[in-house]
Amino acid sequence: MPCSFFLCRVTMASSCAQLCLKCRSLLCSKTVATTWQHSTQVRHCRTVTPVITKVLNGSSFFSGNHRTSPASQRWKQQMFCYSELSVKHLATEAKEDKFKEELSRADVVAYKSPLLPVNEIQMPLDLDAAAEFSALEEITHEEAVSISVPAAIPPSSTSLRDYVDKSETLSKLVQLGVNLWKLEQRPNVGTMLLKLDFNMDVAPRLLFLKHIGVEESHIGYIITHNPFILTEDLESLQARVNYLKSKKFSSETVASMVSRAPYLLNFSVKRLDNRLGFYQQQLNLSASNTRNIIARLPRLLCGSLEPVKENLKVCEIELGFKENEIQHIALTVPKVLTANKRKLTQLFDFIHNTMKVPHHLITKFPQVLNTKYLRVRERHLFLEFLGKAQYDPDLPNYISLDRLVSLPDEIFCTELALATLEDFYLFQKTL
Amino acid sequence: MAAPAVRMFRRVEGLFCVYKPSGVHWKLVRDNIETKLLKGLNAAPSQPCPQEVRFLAQPGGDAEAPKGLTLSVASVPALSKHPLVTGPEFQYLQVGVGHRLDAFSSGVLVLAVGNGNKILNDLYRTRITRDYTLEGESTYGHITQDKLDRVLAMLQGANQKSLLMYSNVDMRSQEAYEMAVQGLLGPDGKSAPILTGLRCIRFEPPNFTIEVQCLNETQKYLRKVVHEIGLELRSTAVCKGVRRTRDGPFTLQDALTRHHWTASDIMQAIQQYKSSKKNKNYSRSKVKEPGLHPLEENTTDSQQNETNVEAVAAGGSRSQTLLSQRCF
């Protein structure tokens, strides 16, 4: 479902109180303090409260008069438009430099508020003065070139494609292969991505991923599935990787686990520890076997443990497997631990009761518990029709269960069923 | 717009039939087909990203006034048209289902894509019959083949009577006689389910297989028929399987099995259907109100009957060859 991205708007009229609240909350977030745009907004807020009566007529924010050159005034007005939008990095570096330079030329009264931690540039806006210059005024060539047209970016939109060309973060993410279309369907993710600063937030985390050994081609996949890795604290990420390495997972294993389970590093060390302990205890496995299972199916560490506990109980009670059999099955096919228990029961019922395969044979070939029910059913019925459905290794013409389920259709027909593929398809139409 | 994908989409519009396996809800089949078709359509090569001309100011590192008209021109790809930002070319497909099959039945399920949905509507407003194979199992040993045949004949007679009743024509008129001669008697629109043909194909006590041609039926009704047959035979009968072998002009032969549910196979099936439509000269658009144009309807309905007969014979013979194989 598309969601709207609301950029902070500094509106002049009646929503001042809300504005102040928003600005205060902006102050609290880490990323605000680093940009001059937010700081100017915040500073505007601080002066708004005492002059709230003056704001009501909507004409001026500040009681200050500055007689500056018309070019800088006009250009101050442009900056005001920009400050309405909280999209970062709209201004290119060159513009920022120009701005700082122009400010120093103008006579600006420095207004230091004790609350603000950053040393920002003061710029009181005088909107009465804004009305004084006219569009027909002559300007120099340099000033003409320095006028930058404010980008036609909508303040709020349901899609990221309106912002991708103007936002450095989004363009770089697309170049990395992140699927922005998929991400914008998730609520609030788009707004979060827009607010990220590429150099401060995204780049250090990408470097971190590369450092732990994740290949560049996988980074797009990881961010598409877990965009919140870009907001995780770097120290925590490092601590989690160190924890996994302390549990004797090699660096390549950690890298492959992160690539295949993108949410892995978002979980705290305590939770990862809890899960590793659970698997080791419940399945009664040695440490190296547990490592083996987790390395092959890292999403076991990401999901909830309740379905796994239920599946283990189902295997024990409903399906009637013994503990060592369950251990062996989990070691060979870890996916059984996260399988849908209704489908697992249906499949087991068919294999055990219709195909008459005993428990010990299923334990020997646990891959049969990982197949689709329809596939096993049609192959078994075909073999039964041909009189070849014989799964007992002691008797002649034995068909092994793993070959039954894992072979592709043509090889199954030619080698196991000794029939043609067309016959198999015709038979399927009689079921 | 990506031209290859759109051309492929034009080829995918039409009607085709699939073989629905039993135990699967028809909606899952429809969704699966839609996903596979979208995958095939979006895999077609897309246009490259369009370029945009931008003026970039010189990245002068020092904070000085801009040095005159020093701007560089660059042609950069417009990322807002990149597929990772806009999403895939095709996101939804209109796939419609013909007569539905409930979860425990299997058989021919007609599906229509895009423009084919309109044809589907017209097709199903005509009086098209469907063929089913019902597998029954009865428990008592006193049932013999001829008793079963007698019961089936009685059922068929009762259904013929209801057919005449629902056709809304006065039985004593000349019009009724002419329609009966041409085989046009039948209910228009909604009516109770009517079995136009019943036949026992196989009888191996306790199992038996019946072939049915019917109109306006539901699979639940067919299971009830098997139950009633059992009651008539003074015993019980349970329906073990319902399998649709034909739905209008679509037979088992044309049905696609699960392994063939890919965009290319579906396109082939649609092309086949379109060419066969041209050959048989079906004028489906004219058969909207059965009463209005009796002449055209005559030809189409008699053709339908012919194809019915052919299909039944073909279906019967095919199932018999398979069954003879079963008997070894």
Instruction: Provide, as residue numbers in chain B, all residues whose Cβ is less than 8 Å from the Cβ of A411.
Output: none
Instruction: Provide, as residue numbers in chain B, all residues whose Cβ is less than 8 Å from the Cβ of A174.
Output: 79, 82, 84-85
Are B20 and A373 a contacting pair, CB within 8 Å? no
In this prediction the pTM is: 0.71
Residue of A97, A161, A426 with shortest CB distance to B85: A161
Q: Determine, for residues B66 and A165 on separate chains, whether the beta-carbon distance falls below 8 Å.
A: no
What pLDDT sits at residue A374? 93
- Rounded to a whole number of angstroms, the distance from the CA of A113 to the nearest CA of chain B is 26
Q: Determine, for residues B60 and A97 on separate chains, whether the beta-carbon distance falls below 8 Å.
A: yes
Q: Determine, for residues A425 and B259 on separate chains, whether the beta-carbon distance falls below 8 Å.
A: yes
- Rounded to a whole number of angstroms, the distance from the CA of B24 to the nearest CA of chain A is 9
- Given pLDDT bands bounded at 50, 70 and 90, which one contains residue B58? low
Across the A:B interface, residue pairs with CB atoms under 8 Å apart total 95
What pLDDT sits at residue A373? 94
Most confident residue range from B7-21, B45-59, B158-172: B7-21
Q: Which of B79, B78, A215, A210 is nearest to A202 (CA)?
A: A210
Mutate to test the interface with A, among B22, B80, B250 (most CBs of A within 10 A): B80
For A1-19, give one letter per residue: b (16+ CB within 10 A) or e: eebebebbebebeeebeeb
Domain at B129-247, CATH class:
alpha beta
Residue of B23, B80, B88 with shortest CB distance to A161: B80
Other Cβ atoms within 10 Å of A105 Cβ, number: 12
CA atoms within 13 A on the CB side of A113: 16
pLDDT above 90 coverage of chain B, percent: 28
Q: Determine, for residues B57 and A378 on separate chains, whether the beta-carbon distance falls below 8 Å.
A: no
Extended strands (E) in chain B: 14-20, 51-57, 71-77, 95-97, 106-113, 130-138, 194-204, 207-215, 237-247, 250-251
Instruction: Provide, as residue numbers in chain A, all residues whose Cβ is less than 8 Å from the Cβ of B19.
Output: 428-429
Q: Determine, for residues B68 and A141 on separate chains, whether the beta-carbon distance falls below 8 Å.
A: yes
Q: Determine, for residues A430 and B322 on separate chains, whether the beta-carbon distance falls below 8 Å.
A: yes
pLDDT digits (tens, 9 = 90+) for B224-270: 999 999 898 888 889 999 999 998 889 998 899 999 999 999 999 99
Q: Determine, for residues B80 and A101 on separate chains, whether the beta-carbon distance falls below 8 Å.
A: no
Q: Determine, for residues A145 and B19 on separate chains, whether the beta-carbon distance falls below 8 Å.
A: no
What pLDDT sits at residue A131? 55
- The C-alpha atoms of residue B182 and residue B130 are separated, in whole angstroms, by 19
- Rounded to a whole number of angstroms, the distance from the CA of B34 to the nearest CA of chain A is 19
What pLDDT sits at residue A129? 55
What rounded mean pLDDT belongs to chain B? 79
Average pLDDT over residues B310-316: 39
What pLDDT sits at residue A22? 43
Residue of B nearest to A373 (CA): B23
- Check whether B194 has a pLDDT greater than 50: yes
Q: Which amino acid is at A114?
A: P
Distances B219 to A71, B23, B214 between C-alpha atoms, Å: 81, 14, 11
The mean-pLDDT minimum among A273-277, A308-312, B3-7, B275-279 falls in B3-7
pLDDT digits (tens, 9 = 90+) for A86-144: 444 443 333 444 444 444 444 433 344 344 444 444 455 556 555 566 777 887 887 77
Residue of A nearest to B324 (CA): A385
Residue of B nearest to A190 (CA): B85
pLDDT digits (tens, 9 = 90+) for B125-151: 777 888 999 999 888 778 888 888 999
- Rounded to a whole number of angstroms, the distance from the CA of A323 to the nearest CA of chain B is 32
- The C-alpha atoms of residue B157 and residue A189 are separated, in whole angstroms, by 67
Residue of A98, A100, A174 with shortest CB distance to B85: A174
What pLDDT sits at residue B70? 66
Other Cβ atoms within 10 Å of A422 Cβ, number: 9
- The C-alpha atoms of residue A4 and residue A11 are separated, in whole angstroms, by 19
Mutate to test the interface with A, among B32, B52, B79, B135 (most CBs of A within 10 A): B79
Q: Which of A363, A309, A357 is nearest to A333 (CA)?
A: A363
Structure tokens given for A175: 């170049």
Residue A94 contacts B where some CB pair is shorter than 8 Å: yes
Q: Which of A364, A313, A360 is nearest to A337 (CA)?
A: A313
Are A9 and A84 a contacting pair, CB within 8 Å? yes
What pLDDT sits at residue A240? 94
Strand partners, B103: none
Q: Determine, for residues A430 and B319 on separate chains, whether the beta-carbon distance falls below 8 Å.
A: yes
Whole-number CA gyration radius for chain B: 28
Q: Determine, for residues A100 and B63 on separate chains, whether the beta-carbon distance falls below 8 Å.
A: yes
Distances A314 to A229, A309, A340, A352, A356 between C-alpha atoms, Å: 35, 9, 11, 15, 20
Q: Determine, for residues A374 and B66 on separate chains, whether the beta-carbon distance falls below 8 Å.
A: no
Average pLDDT over residues B163-169: 79
Residue of A nearest to B87 (CA): A181
Extended strands (E) in A16-150: none
Distances A198 to A230, B57, B116 between C-alpha atoms, Å: 10, 21, 49
Residue that wins the pLDDT comparison between B280 and A279: A279
Q: Determine, for residues B79 and A428 on separate chains, whether the beta-carbon distance falls below 8 Å.
A: no
Distances B111 to B30, B32, B117, B190, B266 between C-alpha atoms, Å: 8, 12, 8, 21, 10
What pLDDT sits at residue A139? 79
Q: Which of B31, B62, B102, B247 is catalytic?
A: B102
Residue of B86, B259, B325 with shortest CB distance to A161: B86
Residue of A145, A179, A378 with shortest CB distance to B71: A145
Strand partners, B106: B243
What pLDDT sits at residue B296? 41
Strand partners, B53: B75
- Residue spans of chain A under pLDDT 50: 1-122
Domain ranges of chain B: 1-45+82-128+252-276, 129-247
Q: Determine, for residues A177 and B84 on separate chains, whether the beta-carbon distance falls below 8 Å.
A: yes
Residue of B nearest to A143 (CA): B66
Are A170 and A193 a contacting pair, CB within 8 Å? yes
**Widest distance between CA atoms in chain B:** 108
Instruction: Provide, as residue numbers in chain B, all residues whose Cβ is less than 8 Å from the Cβ of A427.
Output: 322
- Rounded to a whole number of angstroms, the distance from the CA of B157 to the nearest CA of chain A is 29
Residue A140 contacts B where some CB pair is shorter than 8 Å: no
Instruction: Provide, as residue numbers in chain A, all residues whose Cβ is less than 8 Å from the Cβ of B247.
Output: none
Residue A97 contacts B where some CB pair is shorter than 8 Å: yes
- Rounded to a whole number of angstroms, the distance from the CA of B103 to the nearest CA of chain A is 14
- Rounded to a whole number of angstroms, the distance from the CA of A286 to the nearest CA of chain B is 41
SS3 label, residue A80: helix
A 73-92 residues with CB < 8 A to B: 92
Query: Is residue B122 annotated as part of the catalytic site, yes or no?
Result: no
Distances B8 to B37, B40, B270 between C-alpha atoms, Å: 10, 9, 12
- Rounded to a whole number of angstroms, the distance from the CA of B247 to the nearest CA of chain A is 14
Residue of A nearest to B59 (CA): A94
Contacting A with CB below 8 Å, chain B residues are: 19, 21-24, 52, 56-60, 62-71, 78-88, 106, 243, 252, 255, 257-260, 319, 322, 325-326
pLDDT digits (tens, 9 = 90+) for A22-44: 434 444 344 434 444 444 443 44
Residue of B57, B68, B252 with shortest CB distance to A429: B252
Residue A419 contacts B where some CB pair is shorter than 8 Å: no
